[in-house]
Amino acid sequence: MNRPVIAFAGLTACSGCQLTLLNCEEELPQLAEMFDFAYFPMGRSENDDCCSLEVSFVEGAVSTPGDLEILLNLRSRSRLLVGIGTCALWGGIAAMKNHQPRLELTEAVYGNFANAVKTFPPGPLSRFVTVDFAVPGCPPETNQVMQVLASLLHGTLPVFPGYPVCTECRNRENLCLLIEKNELCLGPLIQSGCNARCPAVSVACEGCRGPATEANVAAEIDLLVEKGFSREEINSRLRRFYPEWDNGQRY
C-alpha cells in the first residue's frame, strides 16, 4: 500500500501546532512508516516543494505575501487542506488587534523600519483558500491530531464534538466559574475537545478553541454585563483568539 504523502507547514504563528505532532514521541516511528512527510520544514531538512500531496496541514494566520505564497502552493498541490490550530482557523492571537491601524501596530514593533515591512492584517486560511477540515485549539489536542491521521488511512475524516466546553465541565463535575464564581468565563461559547482542562483547575476559559456550534454570544454578553464586566473588557477577551465575533448573533 502506498503511504499517503502529506505536508505540515507553518505560517504566522508560534509553531506550537506543529510541535503537537513532534511531541507524539512514542507514535512518531509508526507515523513515519504509515505516512510520507514530503514537506515538513520544522521536522526535516529536505522538503519536496513540487510533489502532489494527499493532505496539507497548515498552521498559522496569513499575514505576509510569503505566507500567502506558501498557502496557495500547498492548496494547489493537495487533495485536502486541513487548518490546524486557532490562528489558521480564526486568525488567533496574530489577528486580535486587527481593529487597530496596521501601520500603528508595525511602528510599535519595527519603529522606523515599519514602512519596509511587507505585511497585512492577519486572517484565517479560509479567507484565501478552501479549507476542507479544521482541527481547533491553541495548540490542538494531541488525540484529535492523531484521530485525523488515523482517519486519513481509512479514507475519511473524524467528527469532532460541536457542543461547548461547559458540557465537558459539567461532565467533570467542576464548579461553574461563570455562575458560581462570577468570573469572566467563555465556556458557554467555546468548542469542546479540551476536556475542560482550564476550568478543571479553576482557570476561566479564555476561548482558545473558537466558537461552538450555535454559540449564543448575545446571551453570554448580557450575562457578563449583569455580573459587572464592562463591554470593553468582554470584547477584549472575545477578540483574543477569535477576533470576528458578531456580538449580536447566534452562531
Q: Domain locations in the chain?
A: 5-153, 165-239
pLDDT of 156-199, one tens digit each? 999 999 999 999 999 999 999 999 999 999 999 999 999 999 99
Residue 68 zone, left/alpha/beta (φ > 0; ψ -120 to 50; rest): alpha
Specify the range with the lowest mean pLDDT, choosing from 9-13, 126-130, 238-242.
238-242
**pTM exceeds 0.95:** no
Q: How far apart are CA 36 and CA 34, in angstroms?
A: 7
In the block, residue with C-alpha cell 502529506: 6
Question: How far, in Å, are 50, 118, 133, 174, 197 from residue 106 at the CA level?
Answer: 33, 10, 32, 42, 35
Q: How far apart are CA 244 and CA 95, in angstroms?
A: 9
Q: Enumerate residues 6+ apart whose C-beta is below 8 A from 13.
A: 59, 60, 61, 85, 87, 88, 92, 94
pLDDT of 64-107, one tens digit each? 999 999 999 999 999 999 999 999 999 999 999 998 998 899 99
Q: Where are the extended beta strands (E) located within the chain?
A: 5-10, 36-39, 53-59, 78-84, 133-135
Mean per-residue pLDDT over the chain, rounded: 93
Yes or no: say if 6 and 56 are a contact pair by the CB < 8 Å rule: yes
Question: Could you count the other beta carbons within 10 Å of the beta carbon of residue 121?
Answer: 19
Confidence grade of residue 214 (pLDDT, cut at 50, 70, 90)? confident
Q: How far apart are CA 226 and CA 212, in angstroms?
A: 23
In this prediction, residue 247 carries a pLDDT of: 63
In this prediction, residue 244 carries a pLDDT of: 85
Candidates 3.40.50.720, 1.20.1050.10, 3.30.1490.390, 3.40.50.700; correct CATH number of 5-153? 3.40.50.700
Amino acid letter, 132: D
